[in-house]
Amino acid sequence: MSTTSTRTTGSAAAPAPPAPRRRPNRHPDNAWAAILLAVPFAGLVIFYLWPLLRTVLLSFSEGTAFTGYTITGLENWQQLFENGDEVWRALLNTLVYAAIVLLGVPIAMVVAALLHQRGLRGRSFYRTLYFIPVVTMPVAVAMVWRYIYNGDFGLLNEVLDAVGGPTRAWVADPDTALYAVAVVGIWMALGTNLIILAAGLEAVPQTLEEAAMLDGAGPIRRFFSVTVPLLTPSIFLVSVLSVIGSLQMFDLLFIMLGRTNPALADSKTIVYLFYEEAFVRNDRPLGAVIALVTLVVTLAVTAVQFRLQRRWVTYA
């Protein structure tokens, strides 16, 4: 009996191995993160990268939307640089316009400093008043200013005539048309610049201004010696945004001057030239070349601004 029981016990089946333990998921949110990142990435590819690639391919092609496009190499680029007087003039006008609009940055600095004074009543009202042109449709703004600049019955000429000043057809004269449009560009950008600079002024420590006041510095000296150096990051941001917006200017010029204006040939910008080539003359390949030139110029000017900011921007 004892032998039998011993054999039975010895021949019993070995215990089953333990089930493998699952590794805990250390990154449970990776799937959701991938989904959330895929949405903006898809928008970037569809609305930015793919059109950019199509524009590059179109710049090396020839044809129309109805007949199709065929790759022809550098013919469009050669055409642009061989007969590029109009392009260079438009590019120069664009850079001049951007330089003039940059003058709005110190104007916005002064206005922001005046609105930042302690005890000023109605500060929010004044900021809202300056910001109204930003939220107004550019077409409506251009139509109003076109009436103001009118050479026959414009409000500006009426005021100048009343005080004995010179009057002229401001947007029909090649000598003044671009500058007249640039003044409107400064006025429209003033609200955005003012809001950004006002936020920068809020970050300036009051203790530094109080210390400068105790040292005998007046308001103007405190502004240039204390406020402006600490405001340079905001000034740099405003400058970059102003230049990029100026290099893309089209709507003001299109509405204020019109296609039959005698001053248009000497005042058109690079984006306006792109519109003429791509949509008026229906030369999409050449329009693509001009669009790429605009992109390269914008990147180059922005890169120069970022390079130079190391010399004058102070990050506290």
Could you tell me the CATH number of the domain that includes residue 198? 1.10.3720.10
Residue 1 lies in a domain: no
Residue 308 lies in a domain: no
pTM of structure: 0.84
Mean pLDDT throughout 176-204?
Answer: 93
Mean pLDDT throughout 299-308?
Answer: 94
Instruction: With beta carbons less than 8 A apart as the criterion, state whether 178 and 96 touch.
Output: yes
Q: Residue 85: its pLDDT value, please? A: 86
Residue 15 lies in a domain: no
Long-range contacts from 277-285, C-beta under 8 angstroms, 24+ separation: 282/64, 284/58, 284/64, 284/65, 285/58, 285/59, 285/60, 285/61, 285/62, 285/63, 285/69, 285/76
The whole domain housing 176 covers: 100-266
**Whole-number average pLDDT of the chain:** 87
Residue 52 lies in a domain: no
Mean pLDDT throughout 169-177?
Answer: 92
Q: Could you report the per-residue pLDDT of 106-153, keeping only the tens digit for each?
A: 999 999 998 888 778 888 888 889 999 999 998 999 999 999 999 888
Look at residue 258 and tell me whether its pLDDT is greater than 60.
yes
Look at residue 176 and tell me whether its pLDDT is greater than 90.
yes
Residue 67 lies in a domain: no
Element housing 133 (H / E) = helix 123-135
Residue 225 lies in a domain: yes
The number of distinct structural domains making up the chain is: 1
Tell the residue number behind the tokens 């809001």, with chain if given. 195
Residue 179 lies in a domain: yes
Query: What is the C-alpha separation between 213 and 208, in angstroms, rounded?
Result: 9
